[in-house]
Amino acid sequence: MKIKNLEELQRIKEESLKNLNGRESKKRGRVVVGMGTCGISAGAKDTLRAIVDEMEKQSIDDVAVIQSGCMGLCEVEPTVEVQIGDEEPVIYGHVNEKQARRIVKEHVVKGNVLREILVKRGKI
């Protein structure tokens, strides 16, 4: 997908509005990227982009991607929290672009928790 001008961006917006009005507005989960000073300096922007890119590649649009501030886990930034359905939230640390794509492919798609980069389970 290449967005070259404002018209194309507006078209994406219209499509998104249509989806919002339909049943698709119900999300089955969320992925939260920590975007505080600590996260940004550790590369959270690239993490966010990798997550969005991989989710688009996998045609996932029923999981919300949300940015948050500092969650108090500055030492393991970039951090990503994944919560699918009623499951307990899972927080991953040191999430670079490669790990971000793995989180989407393994956790968001298949429901497998990635133990080696797991920092915490449950709400902060």
Partner 1 sequence: MKTIADHVLDIAQNSVNANAKCVELFFLENDDDFFIKIKDNGCGIDKDKLSKVFDPFFTTHEKIRRVGLGLPFLKQNAELTGGYVHVSSQPQEGTILEAKLFKMVDCPPVGDLKGTFATLVTSSPNVSWKICRCLKNKCYDFSSEVIKGADLTSPSVIKAIFEYFKSMEYALR
47 versus 99: smaller Cβ distance to partner 1 = 47
Q: Within a 10 A sphere around the Cβ of 18, how many other Cβ atoms?
A: 10
List the interface residues with partner 1, window 58-77 (CB under 8 A): 60-61, 63-67, 69-72, 74
Alpha helices in 22-64, H assignment, sequence order: 37-41, 44-57
- CA 41 and chain centroid, separation: 18
For the chain, the helix, strand and coil percentages under 3-state DSSP, each to the nearest 5: 45, 20, 35
121 binds partner 1 (CB under 8 A): no
On whether the CB atoms of residues 70 and 109 are closer than 8 A, the answer is no
Quote the least distance from Cβ 90 to partner 1, whole Å.
18
Site string for partner 1, 2-41 (x = CB under 8 A): xxxxx-xxx-xx-xxx-xx----x-x--x----xxx--xx
For residue 36, the SS3 value is coil
Contact residues for partner 1, defined by CB under 8 A: 1-6, 8-10, 12-13, 15-17, 19-20, 25, 27, 30, 35-37, 40-41, 45-46, 48-49, 51-53, 55-56, 60-61, 63-67, 69-72, 74
